[in-house]
Amino acid sequence: MSKRIMVLVMAAGLLLCGCEKKVEQKKLMPVPKGDALVIISPHWEGVRKEFGDAFKKWYKEKYNKEVNIEWLDQGGSSDDLRFVKSEFAKNPGTTGIDIFFGGGVEPHLELMKNGYTLPYKIPEQILKLIPKEISGMPIYDPAYNWYGACLSGFGIVYNKAVLKALNLPEPKTWEDLADSRVIGWVSSADPRHSGSIHMMYEIILQAYGWQKGFEIITKMGGNIKSFSKHASQVAKDVSTGQSAYGLAIDSYGWAQVAEVGEDKVGYIMPQNLTVINPDAISILKGAPHPDLAKAFLEFVMSPEGQKLWTLRKGQPDGPKEFELNRLSVMPGLYKEIANRSVIRVNPFAWKASFVYSSEKGSLRYTILNDFIGAFIIDTHKELERAWKAIIAGNFKEPAVKKFVELPCSEEELFTMAREKWNDQAFRNGRIKEWIDFARKKYKEAERLAK
């Protein structure tokens, strides 16, 4: 019996029946027409259910009116962003969608940059409870185009039983996922489909710098067995022992720890190498139901809405069916509900040793997805083969140097993002060039390793 099969058998008892957030099969959804509030969101079923039901109750109590909600999701935050932009391209006045809910902050910055958001200032009695920033990151747009509905932490979820069986260390930094000893035991989703996974690749690049950061991403890519479409699948792979380590947003990590116990599953946010980031919400330009959209935004940002993110299921004012395990944007709530929440981290006490630039992340959001796709995912077989050869060849310097070679500098990438990336013909041509470059360099690295 192979070591992998032995480890999988040993870890089978760690299968989590609820906290891994069941992967939902997505298909392209048309924009509904009618009186219902239309929200496009990559948030999982639990968020949609809890916020949908709670908002309906809140709206009925406040306005004595019924409200219906139609939820859309095209497969993930990146897919949702592409869909909204394509709808605006067809009809610049409106998409028929009221709200974009979730996906981090970058999609909302992109929408704002293109003039696709509708500014709205929430009531002052709510706004005064929310700081303007956290660790240098804005929590909401000064012009009120978007708000951080909650906060996100980014880190590594790991299976302690698998690590013990394989005699592997618990992770401390992103570099640990690039260690050759963990080849085949790392899990990641495709950042072109998942905003949270994209954010972790962006964090690595900003924390370590362009050259060193992409070296880590490339070696980590060699350790990844395959790339799932949904970020929730990463958590599932780790919990079942299919993987030992996985890139995970805090809610997935903490949910697993809460479900099976920290003796079996761990979650770490690499110290001084990650950030706390807003997970935003914005009203879209031309929203067909602007008053309902403003009411929903007000509810999400209110204490009633914020408690849904952090309280345990069944607690007063908490979620009824699903625990959401997210960080609130209201500092005052952490002391108030400390004993009624699974969250044990106060993000307003978190410190990062580097300044994350949301402007930089927003500017290169699309082009970075394409770059990672070309060099890590679409050429993964060639990358993996070269990485195995390099390991077998005891890391010959010429082979490693060729393996991590890049076709452009960070500034050249930014220039293309600013000036060329909206030209579809140029974009397609450059992606093809990158794929060709990647295949040639991996083939050459494999040759040099032998």
pLDDT value at residue 22: 40
Quick one: pLDDT at residue 95?
96
Q: Which residues contact 178 (CB under 8 A, 6 or more apart)?
A: 215, 216, 217, 219, 220, 223
At position 81, the amino acid (one-letter code) is L
pTM assigned to the model: 0.81
Model pLDDT for residues 8-21, shown as the tens digit of each residue: 545 554 443 333 34
Q: Give pLDDT, residue 16.
A: 38
Residues in the chain: 450
Which tens digits make up the pLDDT trace of 140-149?
Answer: 999 999 999 9
pLDDT at 11: 52
Count of C-beta atoms within a 10 Å radius of residue 316: 8
Q: How many CB atoms lie within 10 A of CB 187?
A: 25
Q: Which of 252, 197, 267, 274 is nearest to 228 (CA)?
A: 197
Please name which of 167, 188, 163, 172 lies closest in space to residue 14, comparing C-alpha atoms.
Answer: 163
Beta strand pairing call for 99-101 and 276-283: antiparallel
What number of other Cβ atoms are within 10 A of residue 159's Cβ?
Answer: 29
Q: If residue 78 lies in a helix (H) or strand (E), which one and from where to where?
A: helix 77-90
Quick check: 137 and 356 in contact, CB under 8 A?
Answer: yes
CA–CA dist 237, 221 (Å, integer): 16
Residue ranges of the chain with pLDDT lower than 50? 1, 6, 9, 13-27
The single residue listed with the structure tokens 């110290």 is 271
Euclidean distance between the first and final Cα of the chain, in Å?
29
Domains delineated in the chain: 37-149+278-349 (3.40.190.10), 152-275+358-449 (3.40.190.10)
- Alpha-carbon Rg for the chain, nearest whole angstrom, is 22
Q: What is the pLDDT of residue 29?
A: 56
- Single-letter residue type at 147: Y
Buried b or exposed e, range 422-443, using 16+ CB within 10 angstroms: eeeeebeebbeebbebbbebbe
**For position 337, what pLDDT does the model report?**
85
**Beta strands in 322-388, from DSSP E residues, in sequence order:** none
| Structure token pair of residue 379 | 């050429």
Q: What kind and span of H or E run contains 186?
A: strand 186-189
